[in-house]
Structure 1
């Protein structure tokens, strides 16, 4: 019987001292190193040269932390223990300016403005990701992923999934007659958003104009170009302006309403605009039936313009 009670005592002792009953004691340290890793499964093929990370503390008067990490994979950063919200985006785009860096909800990416008017430069593809709740503790990290799932990691690893924040616009003019008379051509998207709020991925504003130079395929009767910018905040009244400078020194302009193509695009990250069956004017356009701002507008939709349309982009 004594031996039996001895076994019971040993079992109770082991149960009392097992890991499940121990209080976890974390090392006391104000600053902790965490590792932010980027998984590019939402943006296959992306390989930015570097990423910029902003950590906004929960306290309004606390310091905002910024880190620049080279390469697309992420890396270690050091933060004081506390609560944060994080924004990260690629840092290799000269066509982008960052504003609102004082808060998580205000930080925005903006296309650089041209020398005049509402023209903006092509931004290049912007990628971004956020962590809305991040707790840095002496024992590791606790954070909410993009699906709202709370994750904890004793190794202090935060995994993020950047996605496209900008839109790649592909412009295709097919079955173009009279292309042999064209010396150069420019396409301008009117009604674009000049910027986007990174945290909630909402485009800001309308009315920006995004120009791009067209390349010719004379044998195939096609003109193509590509530009990257921000999807319109309000996809209504979006127009594509085609400006052609002909070999005879005359310049013509034609506007196309592309609202329906924008709204019906299956993706907001990759939009293809197609204009089919157009004819470049041979000489003066048809007799004008209206006059707008000193520009004769012919019944065939072409305008003969005599102004300098050059735009110096930043």
Structure 2
């Protein structure tokens, strides 16, 4: 929704003055004004970021950035003029910014990640790890931090008798995905397990909207955990959502067993993601993870522990 803020000039008395003293004051306008910035958390009442950034984009000029340690806002001094505005929390570790010169091109993405970071303690390397067909070229990225943002298309700042106020209402700008794989077999033999979700949006344009994602897909790894009763695998990750170009989303589970064999399971979760009741809080539920029982005492077939054994798991609809 387009938002317009006006800090109207209240200088009629000065304009009507005729004495030299008052005339000097009339022409001695300040080039900047104090502005009260208010971050209204009505759209995210539970949010409490440690810091916020406000970007003001003047027409034809360089963007101005203001930092707030109080998530409710504060007072800043701004050159008079017309601006577009963007705010987002800055207490993040994984996110990076690109093309930050304009509101509409301001892009939030994250740093490149290791696909098997969750298995690094076992010395398992990502080199040569199989990828889902068609996603081999996708960048592997860290999941974004929690992000809240809002923007305004027009902010008019002029000299005024009082302090003008600019109010922005940040809302949750990323999506949360939880994963639950029930009836998993032989989890007691698992030495390490992790997952990834393919073809998620690589970046977000918060100055356009919380749904304004790029067309490029990225793969996001996540840590997985085994339940106490050794029957369920769970995981959780944040993402920017789905790319603006519709893609197929594959959930992959990487598991290393006690015999050092490595197993790779894929599930097509496109329908669960696209048909979720709440696109910002998606719960993916899968049934069955057919991990084998490790081979002991040389009996039976033992795979090469240096190779990944691939298994595609069909989902019953």
**TM-score scaled by length of structure 2:** 0.75
1:135 to 132, 156, 163: 156
Tell me the residue number matched to 1:195. Answer: 203
1:86-105 matches, within 5 Å, as 86-105=85-104
Whether 1:274 aligns to 2:274 is no
2:42 and 2:169 in contact (8 A); partners too: yes
Q: For 1:92, what is the secondary structure of its paired residue? A: coil
Deviations 1:47-74 (A, max 9, x none): 111011110002x1x3421111113111
Change (3 A) 1:34 1:107: same
Tell me the residue number matched to 2:146. Answer: 125
1:231-270 matches, within 5 Å, as 231-233=241-243, 234-270=245-281
Change (3 A) 1:87 1:192: same
Report the Cα offset of residue 300 of structure 1: 6.4
Question: 2 CA distance for matches of 1:88 and 1:104?
Answer: 10
Larger Rg: 1
Tell me the residue number matched to 1:211. Answer: 221
Give the number of the structure with larger relative contact order, counting CA–CA contacts within 8 Å between residues 6 or more apart.
2
Change (3 A) 1:81 1:299: closer
Tell me the residue number matched to 1:110. Answer: 109
Change (3 A) 1:186 1:23: same
Question: 1 CA distance for matches of 2:87 and 2:195?
Answer: 32
Question: 2 CA distance for matches of 1:183 and 1:200?
Answer: 44
Please report the RMSD computed on the Cα atoms of aligned residues, expressed in angstroms: 2.5
Q: For 2:143, what is the secondary structure of its paired residue? A: coil
Q: For 1:212, what is the secondary structure of its paired residue? A: strand
1:1-314 matches, within 5 Å, as 23=12, 25=14, 28-58=29-59, 60=60, 62-114=61-113, 118-139=139-160, 155-201=163-209, 202-219=212-229, 221-233=231-243, 234-283=245-294, 297=310
Change (3 A) 1:299 1:199: closer
Question: 2 CA distance for matches of 1:40 and 1:157?
Answer: 16
**TM-score scaled by length of structure 1:** 0.75
Report the Cα offset of residue 33 of structure 1: 0.7
2:265 and 2:312 in contact (8 A); partners too: no
Change (3 A) 1:34 1:219: same
2:189 and 2:294 in contact (8 A); partners too: no
Report the Cα offset of residue 187 of structure 1: 0.9
Q: For 1:197, what is the secondary structure of its paired residue? A: coil
Question: 2 CA distance for matches of 1:196 and 1:24?
Answer: 47
More strand by share: 1
